[in-house]
Amino acid sequence: MKSMKRAVFLLFLITASMLFVNSAFAAMGEIQSFTFKGTETDLLGTKETLKPDGKPDAHFIVSIKGAGAVTGVELKALGTDRAWDTIPGNEKWGMIVQDGKGEDLTTASGSFSTKPFLALITLHLYVADDGTAFSETREYEVTVSFMDGSTATAKTTVPGMPDIFKPKEAEKVELPESEELSAVLLGIGDKDVVGKSEKIKGDGVRDAHFKIRFNTVSVVEEISIRNVDGTSSAWDTVPGNGIWAIAVYTDGKLRNREDGSVKFAVEGDTTLDLWVADNGSIAAGATRYEVIVKFNDGTVLRKVAERQEVAKTAVDKGILSAVLIEPTRGDLTSRSEALKGDGKPDWKIALELVAEGKIINFIVRGDDGASEWDTIPGNGKWLVAVTDSSGNVLNESNGSVSLDVSGKKDFNLWLTDNGTITEGDVKYKVLVVMSDGSILEKDVVRVIEGEQASKTTAPSATAQVSDKIRATYVR
C-alpha cells in the first residue's frame, strides 16, 4: 500500500513539473471563446467610475484554457479611440471583471487581482460607454495578460445599439467647407485648460474657445492667434517666447506636447478646438482675431475668426445650489493653506451638484478681485476644506482633492473669513473644476438670518489625517 501511495505521489510530482516547464516556455492561456452577452447589468459608470450610474453596461464573456495566472484584461473598440482596461489612472476607461462564480477580480481602485487557474477559467467583463463605441456596429478585441508576460487576444463583432448607448451630440457650429481655413470664435466656453502663461494648465478661470476647420494632408507644426484690431492680443504654441499658450484639441484629445508645442499629422477634413486664456478683450467683444496655422511643408493658412453665438442646450450637470451659512461649529481652516483649524468656527457653503467624472479643485471667488480660496496647494491662497454629507473631510493631507462623482452629490465647503464675508459687501461664486478641464459655476446665496440651512453634518473639531488612505476622517 505504501509503495502504491509513493508511486501516485511521484506521478503527481512528474505531472506538476511538466505543467510548470510547459507553462514557462509557452503562453499560459489560450482564449477558447469571446462573446457579447448583452446589456442587462449596471455595475459601473463612464471613465473610471466603478459604481452604478443608472445606465446599462455592455457584458462580454471570455473563456480561457491553460494553466497559470491572469494578471490583467484590456478591451478595445476597433476603429475608435475607446478602450477599457484594469489599470487605473490612464486614458483608458475602467472595467469590472468577475470570475465564473460572480466574484469581483477588480479592486475598488480599478486594478486587477491576479487570478490563478488550472485547465479552464471564465471571465465576465463589464464596461460602460457614452455612445462613442456601442452606438454603431463594431469589432471588439480583448487582450488577456498572464503572469509570465504572455498575452492572448480574440475578436468579436457587436451590433450597434444607438437606442441604448446614445451617441454624444456634437456641438452645432457651422464651419464653411469651401474655404481653405474657416475659423469662428465661440466666446468664453465651459473649460479651463490653460492660464495666463505658456503652460497647458488651468487657472480656475473659464477659457475662450476658437474652432477652426481645414482640409489638407500634412503635419501641423504651429498655431497662433493675433488681434487684427482693438486690444493687443497674442497666443501661440511656441514654447519659451513668453506668449500665452493655446491648448489644441482634436475630437476631445489634447495635441500639445508637455512644453505646449504641437506636431501632429492631419489627413483631410480636420476640425480643431483651440482654447486660450482671455486677456479681457474676448469677453469685451470689441476685438477681432486672426488664426494662423503653419504646416511642416511650409504652407501657412490664416483666417480672421467670425464671432458666433452658440445656442446653449440643457445639460444634465451643474451646481444646483450654493448657500453661504454663518459660523456655528466646525473648524478646519485658518488664514493659510494648511488643513488645520485656528480655534474659530469656519464659514460654510452648502453645495449641491450633479456631475460625472473627477473633481480636482473647488474655488470660492469674490467679485472684489482679491478674495479667493481653493484646494490647490502651494499657490498662496487660503484653503477650502471639503466635507461630505456625513462630515468626513475629503481633502488630502496637503489640501488638494481628487473626488470621483457620478450623479447628484452634496458637499460642504469650509473657509476662514478674510474680512469680506462678515462685512457682506462682496458677492461670491463657487467654481468646481473637473479633471477634463470643464468648470461648474454657481453664485453663492447667503442664508437668511435665523434660517436653518445646515444640510449636512459639521466636521469634528478633532478630525485626523490617515496616512494610509491620504484622507481626513472623523471619529
* Closest by CA position to 291, among listed 244, 194, 224: 224
What's the pLDDT tens digit per position in 386-409?
999 888 999 999 999 999 988 889
Q: Give per-residue burial for 166-193: e unless 16+ CB within 10 Å, then b.
A: eeeeeeeeebeeeeebbbbbbbebbbbb
C-alpha cell at 158: 457587436
Mean pLDDT over 81-89 rounds to: 90
C-alpha cell at 282: 474676448
Query: Is pLDDT above 50 for 317?
Result: yes
Percent of the chain with pLDDT over 90: 57
Residue-wise DSSP of 452-472: ----SPPPPTT-EEETTTTEE
What's the pLDDT tens digit per position in 255-300?
999 999 999 999 889 999 999 999 999 988 889 999 999 999 889 9
Residue bearing cell 497647458: 200
Query: Is pLDDT above 70 for 467?
Result: no
Q: What is the pTM of this model?
A: 0.46
| pLDDT for res 21 | 40
How far the first Cα of the chain sits from its last, in Å, is 63
Total residues belonging to the chain: 475
Average pLDDT, the chain: 84
| pLDDT for res 475 | 30
In the chain, what are the domains?
Answer: 24-158 (2.60.40), 181-307 (2.60.40), 318-473 (no CATH)
Separation of alpha carbons 365 and 430, rounded Å:
7
**Neighbour count for residue 418 (Cβ, 10 Å):** 17
β pairing state of 83-85 and 93-94: parallel
C-alpha cell at 314: 440643457
Separation of alpha carbons 283 and 187, rounded Å:
7
Query: Is pLDDT above 60 for 448?
Result: no
* Closest by CA position to 297, among listed 217, 241, 357, 395: 217
pLDDT bin (cut points 50, 70, 90) of residue 58 is very high
Mean pLDDT over 342-364 rounds to: 92
Separation of alpha carbons 385 and 325, rounded Å:
15
Spell out the residues 6+ positions from residue 183 whose beta carbon is closer than 8 angstroms to its own.
210, 211, 212, 213, 291, 303, 304, 305, 306
What's the pLDDT tens digit per position in 25-52?
345 789 999 999 999 899 999 888 888 8
pLDDT bin (cut points 50, 70, 90) of residue 218 is very high
